Amino acid sequence: MHSNSGRPAGGEDPFQEGSGSILRQPMAVWATAGAAVVAFMGIGLVDPILPSIAKGLDATPSQVSLLFTSYFLITAVAMLVTGFVSSRIGGRRTLLTGLALVVVFAALSGASSSVGQLVGFRAGWGLGNALFVSTSLAVIVGAASGGSAAAILLYESALGLGMACGPLVGAVLGDLNWRFPFFGTAVLMAVGFIAVTVLLKEQPRPARKTSLLDPVRALGHGGLASAAASAFFYNYAFFTVLAFTPFVLDMTPYRSGAVFFGWGVLLAVFSVLVAPALQKRFGSLRVLGGSLVLMAADLLVLGYGGHTTAVVCTILSGALIGMTNTVYTELALGVSDAPRPVASAGYNFVRWFAAAAAPYLAPKIEEWTDVRMPFVVAAAAAGAAALIVLVRRRSLTPEAGEPRPEHGRGDHAARTGAAGAVNAADTAAGADGAGGREDSGAGAGDSGADSGGRDGREWPAAAARPSGTG
């Protein structure tokens, strides 16, 4: 039996363990968190320099947008692989493998001589980032002092810092040369690789291994399938903003970086602070539906407004995306009977395909029609996501649809941090950091509550603790 928050009833919440300072952490935790900042920076890094890349490689917007398509297509497939890999080689080796892949492919991206090469290398980068981000939260929780709540807040801080600073770093380095952001990422991740190698000890491996098909089987649950379908359309709208808007704004790297810095700040603040407060008052499904409707309206105004209006709407969309990400995360983790990392992987497997499609289709739609139509299509996608929530609200309600009961301060902070951390996943391609939420519970509390069956259904114990957190 489970409570409305999606946690096992009758047991102590592992996220309530410890209340130590977030700053008093072992060096291994700081090394992993620092690498996480750079990993999340890599998502928005290319936004300010997309027009510069197109000019430098003599490519069209649709060709350059494949940088996102290849990245997230690999990320979608990797959702089926990360748990499989980490349950076999351990969290530390998975982490280092991901870091090594990012270093190699980021450097190769900077050395690309054609847009085709850049797109291919960006795909390899996506695989490395997926392996790293899907494991980093669990590793941080396993190595942190002061309890898992402090560790999750540290991870969330790394997420917010990376998402906000990525566009700025891309702008500063990209203004010199579009290749420099890629080389800079490779250097920073190489430093992270060395630090993690030296400071982080091997994590215990799980007793049982995760199957590649577990996430697909989890989608047989109607509530999880509904959440994934709705998130698929939402992600199309989200990544139309992220990948296509820079071409519409047509600004210098510095100005574009400033716009997306504001976008990233609002995303982090509304994801971690505002969304939980609104959920408590109005209920998750009302917040989700309202955010999606407002996002559809924002996209229409962005498409049909002037340049200043487009800038304002782009920044404001960060607030709506932040709130929406948080609610989708809690739906994915709490609505089904699957272990949370397995449910998260299945959910992310579906929705990242839309993240891969939007960056390619939006410029194509502009070529076929006009500059407004990509935003009309994105607004329609957000509306479709809201409609699915409305029609399927009964299947989405049991675990996450109603206002949650009051919890202690420690539980509220942990729940907020955990949901926000998984949003990395929503925005950072490591959305399998959602899996880390259960990993962290297993690692810190060792309750293993989700490793057994829910409602009499057996799931592999390793699925609840795929990253070797103990």
Is the confidence at residue 380, as pLDDT, over 70?
A: yes
Residues 270-290: b if buried by 16+ CB within 10 A, e if exposed: bbbebbbebbbeebbbbbbbb
Which pairs count as long-range contacts for 117-121, CB under 8 Å and 24+ apart, including other chains?
118/53, 118/57, 118/67, 119/63, 119/66, 119/67, 119/69, 119/70, 120/70
Cβ atoms of 167 and 47 within 8 Å: the answer is: yes
Four-residue CA torsion sign, 367, 373, 375, 378: negative
Measured distance CA(211)–CA(216) in Å, rounded: 10
pLDDT digits (tens, 9 = 90+) for 65-74: 888 888 889 9
The full DSSP string for 329-382 is HHHHHHSSSS-HHHHHHHHHHHHHHHHHHHHHHHHHHHHHS-SSHHHHHHHHHH
Of 439 and 154, the structure prediction assigns the larger pLDDT to 154
pLDDT digits (tens, 9 = 90+) for 181-214: 899 889 888 988 888 888 887 766 666 677 888 8
pLDDT at position 133, please?
78
Q: Hey, what amino acid is at 259?
A: V
User: Of the ranges 9-13, 238-242, 251-255, 448-452, which is most confident?
Assistant: 238-242
Cβ atoms of 98 and 124 within 8 Å: the answer is: no
pLDDT digits (tens, 9 = 90+) for 295-346: 999 999 999 999 999 999 999 999 999 889 888 877 887 788 877 667 777 8
pLDDT bin (cut points 50, 70, 90) of residue 465 is very low
Provide the 10 A C-beta neighbour count for residue 370: 11
Give the predicted TM-score (pTM) of the model. 0.74
pLDDT at position 97, please?
93
pLDDT digits (tens, 9 = 90+) for 250-268: 888 888 888 988 988 898 8
pLDDT bin (cut points 50, 70, 90) of residue 148 is low
Measured distance CA(128)–CA(69) in Å, rounded: 15
- Write the burial class of residue 202 (CB in 10 Å: 0-12 exposed, 13-18 middle, 19+ buried): exposed
Measured distance CA(204)–CA(465) in Å, rounded: 10
pLDDT digits (tens, 9 = 90+) for 217-237: 889 999 999 999 999 999 999
Mean pLDDT of the chain: 77
